[in-house]
Amino acid sequence: MRRQAKNTSESSHLSRIKGRSLFFRFEGHLATIDVIRQKVVDGEYEFTIPHFFEEMADDNLVFPDIERAIAHGHIRRRFTRDPRGTRYEVVGPSTDDRAIAVICRIKTTGKLLFITTFALEET
């Protein structure tokens, strides 16, 4: 009796995904805003220094404003023509309920990069 050959397409698919991190394996199943939110919760972020902090100060924003905007906001625009990767404009409420925008990108390292932020309304 002959043994059947092992299904090579299934085994090669499994070997391809075993080495990947949980984030990359399931990223396609999460909305981008959910990935951004999770990176903020997990502390997986960096800033463009000093630009991001200068822009926060210009509009009297603090980091809890950024966290709230991301937690309760939505992606308004995607900037896809940048060779460094897609940037996202997340718009949401600050802690004093002003509408603010946060521009960020997910780096090839997997970290979220905060690029700039600004208030959409005057105080």
Structure tokens at 70: 């991301």
**Quick check: pTM over 0.85?**
no
17 found inside a domain? no
Whether residue 64 has a cis bond before it, omega within 30° of 0: no
At 73-120, the pLDDT tens digits run: 999 999 999 999 999 999 999 999 999 999 999 999 999 999 999 999
How many domains does one find in the chain? 1
CA distance readout (Å), 72 to 24, 29, 68, 82, 104: 24, 20, 6, 26, 16
Q: Which residue range is the domain that position 83 belongs to?
A: 31-119
5 found inside a domain? no
Mean pLDDT taken over the chain: 83
CB atoms within 10 A of CB 110: 13
Q: Which residue has the tokens 């709230």?
A: 68
Considering only CA atoms, which of 14, 36, 9, 4 is closest in space to residue 23? 36
89 found inside a domain? yes
